[in-house]
Structure 1
Amino acid sequence: MMAQDHTGVPKAAIAALMAAEQDRFIAAHPRSAEAAANGLSGFYQGVPMHWMRDWPLPFPILVQNAHGATLTDIDGHERADFCLGDTGAMFGHSPPPVAKAIAEQAQRGLTYMLPTADAAAIGHLLPQIFGLPHWQIATTATDANRFALRVARAVTGRPRILVFNGCYHGTVDETFVRLDKGQAVNRPGLLGQFTDLTRDTAVVEFNDLTALEQALKAGDIACVITEPVLTNSCMVLPEPGFHAGLRRLTRETGTLLLIDETHTISTARGGYSARYGLEPDMFVLGKPIAGGIPASIWGFTDDIARRLDAVRAATPSGHSGMGTTLSANALALAAMRAVLEQVMTADAYAHMERLADRLEKGLMAAITAASLPWHVARVGARVEFICAPGPLRNGTAAEAAHAPELEAALHLALLNRGCLIAPFHNMMLVCPATTAIQVDRLIAAFTDITGQLRRVA
């Protein structure tokens, strides 16, 4: 019997799969090899953003075009795209209404630092769709989270925030805190970090209401910022009663609740909050809100608006620390309006939900057939296979379930079989353009690979 870990797959089998798939990839991508095997000239580490090197590939593939749920590289390979720009293209690549809005706006100017007719329309749509009455536009979810946390501190007069271990909120400094053997520490790997983030950030485990209550007792937490579901590693779903307890405890202690739905917008037109009746004080959504054009939204309650007005009235005029020059630019507003009015529809979500359910069941059937100790988690159109038993309860369990070498081999093997999934974790998205044929292709590829791994084991 070969040695194996919690994944149930021997390391020798993983290494053999990776070696075979690397050879297959290299042989199939001569044009990408010529262009990118030694890096793209002029770029640090040979790519426009360093994380483009994080794909588990011998070298990057160069994209020629993408339409709907299909991506084509310069070697002519068409792939069913379940990564979708890690949610940035969650509604598909270049949805026709968005492409039309971009083309038309490009003829009228791209940015003015002034509102447009699209802004007026969006101002009516956001409260209708997401519930909260007051909204602002930013360029990324990271920006929106930063600005919202600044407002939370301003209106509460409190210095600290609280995050859940394993959370993801873009590159917001305060959220780069994790638990290590029960102690709050700065996340390893941060570059240029010269302050101790744990001074201003408390961190507790997701689903642990007892720890949350204890942390909020001191009365110095301005805001709890959370995803409804932990999504950026191995997915962790909320246990029954967790969100109700979170809302009760934050209200009892005068702590604001910020819900970041940048990933969980996969759940419904109004996000996880709308579907499950959550009542955030503040709400953030980035990535797909403008169909792939950089944009984000953040909203808040009447109470916060009143308190913010009072703070601003007592504060000298000057730079607020919120907003960037290209925030709410005309191009982003045009794309956002098209998404809200024509793309993010109930019919689109019904299609996504139906095929995501098909994908979840198909992956689980393959796992069962291969007798692997894995499980599948899903939040709406977002599906994830996890190479460990489940369900997972918190961020510590999610980190322990991560299997980088096995996941890298699986990702490469799926790509070689015509299916692209997210490179940083085992995430797959179904979009309005995804077809049943594409879902079945992914299930068949996954079944083939897991069966192969099990036969070696």
Structure 2
Amino acid sequence: MSKKPASRSKLVAGVRRDRLEALAKREQSRFAQSRPKTHAALVAGADTYLDGVPLHWMKDWPMPFPMLVEEAKGAHITDLDGYGIDDFCLGDTGSMFGHSPAPVAKAIRKQARRGLTYMLPTEDALEAGRRLTERFGNFKWQIATTATDANRFAVRVARAVTGKPKILVFNGCYHGTIDDAMVELKDGKTITRPGLLGQVADLTQLATCVEFNDVAGVEAALKTGEIAAILTEPVMTNSCMVLPDAGFHDALRTLSRRYGALLIIDETHTISSGLGGYTRVHSLSPDMFVVGKCVAGGMPTSVWGMTPEVADRYIEANAKRKSGHSGMGTTLSANPMQFACLRANLSDVMTAKNYAHMENGARRLSEGLAKVIARHKAPWHVVRVGARVEFICAPGPLKNGSEAAHAHQPEVEAAVHTALLNRGCLIAPFHNMMLVSPATKKRQIDRLIAAFDEILTELFQDA
């Protein structure tokens, strides 16, 4: 009796599973064998940390153990084993303008001699405020340490001035770890995200979830009269990247005004869009504006602001409340080091010239990756927002968070990420995000494209 022919392996994002598993196994082994100093250092010293890392998401990198950084400068990292790596992760936007931009490093050295924190403003604070308005628009600013804090405080203000209990967020959204946004859609209904640790409150009492680009869904939620604010990124970024439909942001602005809700734009990731962020580039008009991570050149800093009209309403609401803690604060926020770095970054790093370099480099990267994908006939696509580029291991474009969740291919992404790192290119561990900084060189971009081509050649050979 003749044998039946072996069945073809199941495809994952268009890739044969056996081929994907072989690549992943080889690249994991290659990484581990090439970094003996890193491994030895982790064995000797990592057990003081919970699960061996200072922060849990450091385990989200796909390598068999974390890479230890010896030095980072510009768009380049050197690890403990002496490998030089082109950095396109850039701290997941925290170092979008490059590691230690010279004006920011100078400001840090100068301020370090004058004190690190003292709960009082400085002349740098005054200049930073002026620069923030110049860059982002006429907002009344407050300073926080993380975008999570900034979003939390903005939401609290929105509820205070509108008297309404809920915020509207989009399925698959990212606004840091603010509790209010930790909801999702299931069978058309808002539910608390099931993966939350230690969650006891019913977050559906705080938020309503709608699909991105669903104007009718937004209006239906607003019609309930419960929505204090729409909290949104201009582009969905912490899922596989989703662009707004034409007219979507105009609809958000119109509907929020019609139904008495505030519009909060969170630019923590979309600051890559250009000078002044997506809001300035595309002439959006939010009531409140949030940006974090890279705004101070890598120093932990976020800013949030409100229009003068909303500021007046906030001052009125604040004056009427009972004395006691407002629920907004954090003692180390608005420290002099943040202001020194904000002033330097806004003045000398976040410039039109640097953004032009970033835009040109990101265009080169996205076009190069797209050509590789087309040449190998991979069912993937590329999305770009200014200096931010992402290859997505599924056909596109994507329309909403549900489509983005289905497009996410963790097995493929992990294998490709490790293979890229072994070829000297680091991209973000979360999905397939890459950033081009003012320090990024054409040769680094071309090396990444060539490495991507080499990996896809193996994955899609004879496809």
TM-score, normalised with respect to structure 1? 0.98
The DSSP-based 3-state class of the residue aligned with 1:120 is helix
Matched, 1:27 2:27: no
2:326 aligned to which of 317, 320, 331: 320
Q: 1:174 corresponds to which letter in structure 2?
A: D
1:105 aligned to which of 95, 102, 111: 111
Q: What's 2:404 paired with?
A: 398
How many residue pairs match? The answer is 457
1:186 shift after superposition: 1.3
Do the aligned partners of 1:38 and 1:46 also contact (CA within 8 Å) in 2? no
Matched, 1:286 2:286: no
Matched residues in 2 for 1:71 and 1:37: separation? 22
Q: What's 1:130 paired with?
A: 136
Do the aligned partners of 2:76 and 2:86 also contact (CA within 8 Å) in 1? yes
Matched residues in 2 for 1:4 and 1:365: separation? 26
Matched residues in 1 for 2:383 and 2:47: separation? 40
Q: 2:373 corresponds to which letter in structure 1?
A: I
1:85 aligned to which of 86, 91, 94: 91
Matched residues in 1 for 2:299 and 2:133: separation? 21
Q: What's 1:183 paired with?
A: 189
> After the TM superposition, which segments of 4 or more aligned residues of structure 1 sit over 6 Å from their partners?
none
* Worse overlay, 316-325 or 368-377: 316-325
Matched residues in 2 for 1:417 and 1:90: separation? 22
Q: Structure 2: which 5+ residue stretches go unaligned?
A: 1-6
1:184/1:5 CA distance change after superposition, 3 Å: farther
1:38 shift after superposition: 7.6
1:347 aligned to which of 320, 335, 353: 353
Q: What's 1:297 paired with?
A: 303
The DSSP-based 3-state class of the residue aligned with 1:354 is helix
1:239/1:4 CA distance change after superposition, 3 Å: farther
Matched, 1:94 2:132: no
Matched residues in 1 for 2:43 and 2:453: separation? 30
Do the aligned partners of 2:27 and 2:415 also contact (CA within 8 Å) in 1? yes
1:6/1:408 CA distance change after superposition, 3 Å: closer
Matched, 1:362 2:368: yes
The DSSP-based 3-state class of the residue aligned with 2:46 is coil
> What is the CA RMSD across the aligned residues, in angstroms?
1.1
* Worse overlay, 58-67 or 186-195: 186-195
Matched residues in 2 for 1:61 and 1:276: separation? 38
Q: 1:383 corresponds to which letter in structure 2?
A: V
Q: Describe how 1:220-239 pairs up with structure 2 within 5 A.
A: 220-239=226-245
Q: 2:401 corresponds to which letter in structure 1?
A: G
Do the aligned partners of 2:12 and 2:412 also contact (CA within 8 Å) in 1? no
Q: 2:354 corresponds to which letter in structure 1?
A: A
1:179/1:18 CA distance change after superposition, 3 Å: same
Matched residues in 1 for 2:11 and 2:207: separation? 34
Q: Structure 1: which 5+ residue stretches go unaligned?
A: none
Do the aligned partners of 1:36 and 1:61 also contact (CA within 8 Å) in 2? no
Q: Describe how 1:440-451 pairs up with structure 2 within 5 A.
A: 440-451=446-457
Q: 1:359 corresponds to which letter in structure 2?
A: L
Q: What's 1:247 paired with?
A: 253
Q: What's 1:115 paired with?
A: 121
The DSSP-based 3-state class of the residue aligned with 1:185 is strand
Q: 1:240 corresponds to which letter in structure 2?
A: A
Superimposed CA distance per residue, residues 416-443 of structure 1 (whole angstroms, 9 cap, x where no aligned partner): 0000000011000000000000000000
1:78 shift after superposition: 0.4
Superimposed CA distance per residue, residues 224-279 of structure 1 (whole angstroms, 9 cap, x where no aligned partner): 00000000120000011111111111111111000000000001120000000100
Do the aligned partners of 1:161 and 1:201 also contact (CA within 8 Å) in 2? yes
Q: 1:251 corresponds to which letter in structure 2?
A: R
Matched residues in 2 for 1:184 and 1:213: separation? 15
Do the aligned partners of 2:95 and 2:294 also contact (CA within 8 Å) in 1? yes
1:319 shift after superposition: 1.1
The DSSP-based 3-state class of the residue aligned with 1:2 is coil
1:142 shift after superposition: 0.3
Do the aligned partners of 1:6 and 1:388 also contact (CA within 8 Å) in 2? no
Superimposed CA distance per residue, residues 202-241 of structure 1 (whole angstroms, 9 cap, x where no aligned partner): 0000000011111110111000000000001200000111
Matched residues in 2 for 1:6 and 1:397: separation? 16
1:316 shift after superposition: 2.3
Matched, 1:212 2:228: no
Q: What's 2:387 paired with?
A: 381
Q: What's 1:412 paired with?
A: 418
The DSSP-based 3-state class of the residue aligned with 1:31 is helix
Matched, 1:60 2:61: no
Do the aligned partners of 1:184 and 1:203 also contact (CA within 8 Å) in 2? yes
Q: Describe how 1:166-177 pairs up with structure 2 within 5 A.
A: 166-177=172-183
Q: What's 2:3 paired with?
A: none
The DSSP-based 3-state class of the residue aligned with 1:455 is coil
Matched residues in 1 for 2:314 and 2:108: separation? 34
1:37 shift after superposition: 5.2
1:32 shift after superposition: 0.8
